């Protein structure tokens, strides 16, 4: 079988396809013939050497897949055979075949294509944890989401509007019209440094009830300053470290230096009547009793047509470097997907 390997830290050119033997599922596992794999910013950060939870390189990236079960291991439910599924994986998803614990696997609802299935889990689980669990977005709440055109941003927009919340956001200017069509009340340039001023101007000086910040570093304080009283800030990424020409330790240090370590302390949060939370889906592997319920809720919404992952582009495995480049350069609106070269794009 074929898999995409990151040979070492660096640009997209460090990825290549290699042949390896087909694995057999172990006890309690099922084997999935992969039809589509999601591309996430964690994969880009892994390639750049900026993701602390990534396996040592060379390694296979990929957090989520969709496909069909073609083998089951000892003790696994034989009813999985030939079933269309989607699943989370702790890396290793850029693969024509993956073996996973059956507890990580979910039936793919009727009418949900492999590409739609591979676009659901990471982005929508992250969004769910933020706007349903950590900072629930209720009817009438005003939510600020940065990188609103990305995979997580698009999931947030759908989940918020579904609950009757209002949404404002940031993105590169070329994406603003698309976001307004999706119902965002106000969109500003994601490169603007003093965006809290723009947010307050757009909200009559009030601010937002919830701010979701994926860039970390110096952007955290701006998002905090965008909050109204009783506002909630959720940080969920480190993408600012993957900008510019420098990567690795220097880039990480630059981003860490911009974090307001002393400004956002318990006394300030108390006096400002605001709260701060963090989300890292990659650290939720031991919380299956929670995330399984979240997935079931998301699949119910997807089956009912209430959420629909926005697919930006689909690339064959042989063009994985182009897929990473599109995501890294923030050219996407929605999810970037990889499919094995022989698979029909659907």
Are residues 281 and 129 in contact, defined by beta-carbon separation less than 8 angstroms? yes
Specify the pLDDT at position 260. 79
Q: Are residues 90 and 239 in the same domain?
A: no
Q: Are residues 254 and 242 in the same domain?
A: yes
Q: Are residues 142 and 267 in the same domain?
A: yes
Specify the pLDDT at position 241. 47
The answer to whether residue 289 is domain-embedded is: no
The answer to whether residue 173 is domain-embedded is: yes
Q: Where are the beta strands (DSSP E) in 180-308?
A: 186-189, 208-213, 227-235, 275-278
67 HSE (CA, 13 A, CB side)? 30
Q: Are residues 100 and 135 in the same domain?
A: no
Q: Are residues 73 and 130 in the same domain?
A: no
The answer to whether residue 33 is domain-embedded is: yes
d(CA 274, CA 236): 17
Specify the pLDDT at position 60. 98
- Choosing from 282, 301, 318, the residue where a domain stops is 282
CATH at 220 = 3.90.180.10
Q: Are residues 127 and 72 in the same domain?
A: no
The answer to whether residue 76 is domain-embedded is: yes
The answer to whether residue 297 is domain-embedded is: no
Q: Are residues 132 and 243 in the same domain?
A: yes
Q: Are residues 133 and 262 in the same domain?
A: yes
The answer to whether residue 300 is domain-embedded is: no
Question: Cα dist. 294→21, 131, 133, 145 in Å?
Answer: 34, 12, 10, 21
The answer to whether residue 46 is domain-embedded is: yes
Q: Are residues 75 and 114 in the same domain?
A: yes
pLDDT over 70 for what percent of the chain? 93
The answer to whether residue 301 is domain-embedded is: no
Q: What is the dihedral of CA 65, 71, 73, 76, to 10 degrees?
A: 70
Q: Are residues 255 and 133 in the same domain?
A: yes
- What domain range includes position 147? 122-282
Q: How many domains does the chain have?
A: 2
Residue ranges in the chain modelled with pLDDT below 70 = 238-257, 343-346
pLDDT by residue (tens digit) across 127-143? 999 999 999 999 999 99
Are residues 309 and 154 in contact, defined by beta-carbon separation less than 8 angstroms? yes
Question: Cα dist. 141→60, 71, 136, 230 in Å?
Answer: 40, 47, 9, 11
d(CA 328, CA 16): 17
- Choosing from 282, 299, 318, the residue where a domain stops is 282
Which residues share a beta bridge with 278? Answer: 235
Q: Are residues 178 and 80 in the same domain?
A: no
Are residues 12 and 328 in contact, defined by beta-carbon separation less than 8 angstroms? yes
Q: Are residues 106 and 169 in the same domain?
A: no
């Amino acid at each position: 079988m074929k898999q995409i390997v990151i040979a070492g830290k660096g640009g997209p050119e460090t990825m290549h396809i290699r042949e390896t033997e087909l694995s057999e599922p172990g006890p309690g596992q099922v084997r999935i013939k992969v039809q589509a794999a999601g591309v996430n910013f964690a994969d880009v950060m892994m390639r750049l050497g900026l993701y602390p939870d990534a396996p040592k390189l060379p390694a296979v990236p990929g957090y989520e897949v969709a496909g069909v079960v073609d083998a089951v291991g000892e003790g696994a439910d034989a009813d999985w055979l030939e079933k269309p599924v989607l699943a989370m994986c702790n890396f290793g998803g850029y693969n024509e075949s993956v073996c996973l614990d059956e507890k990580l696997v979910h039936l793919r609802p009727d009418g949900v294509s492999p590409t739609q299935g591979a676009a659901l889990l990471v982005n929508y689980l992250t969004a769910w944890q933020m706007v349903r669990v950590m900072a629930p977005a209720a009817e009438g709440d005003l939510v600020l989401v940065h990188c609103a055109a990305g995979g997580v941003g698009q999931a947030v927009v759908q989940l918020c509007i579904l609950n009757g919340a209002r949404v404002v956001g940031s993105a590169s200017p070329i994406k603003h019209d698309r976001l307004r069509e999706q119902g965002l009340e106000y969109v500003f340039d994601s490169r603007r440094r003093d965006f809290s001023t723009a947010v307050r101007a757009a909200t009559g000086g009030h601010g937002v009830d919830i701010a979701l910040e994926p860039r970390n570093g110096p952007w955290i304080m701006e998002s905090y300053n965008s909050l109204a009283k009783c506002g909630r800030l959720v940080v969920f990424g480190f993408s600012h470290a993957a900008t510019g020409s420098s990567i690795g330790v220097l880039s990480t240090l630059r981003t860490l230096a911009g974090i307001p370590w002393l400004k956002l302390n318990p006394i300030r949060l108390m006096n400002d009547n605001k709260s701060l939370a963090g989300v890292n889906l990659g650290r939720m592997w031991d919380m299956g009793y929670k995330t399984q319920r979240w997935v079931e809720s998301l699949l119910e919404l997807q089956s009912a047509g209430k959420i629909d992952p926005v697919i930006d582009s689909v690339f064959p495995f042989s063009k994985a470097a182009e897929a990473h480049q599109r995501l890294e350069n923030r050219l996407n609106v929605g999810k970037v997907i990889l499919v094995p070269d022989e698979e029909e794009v659907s």
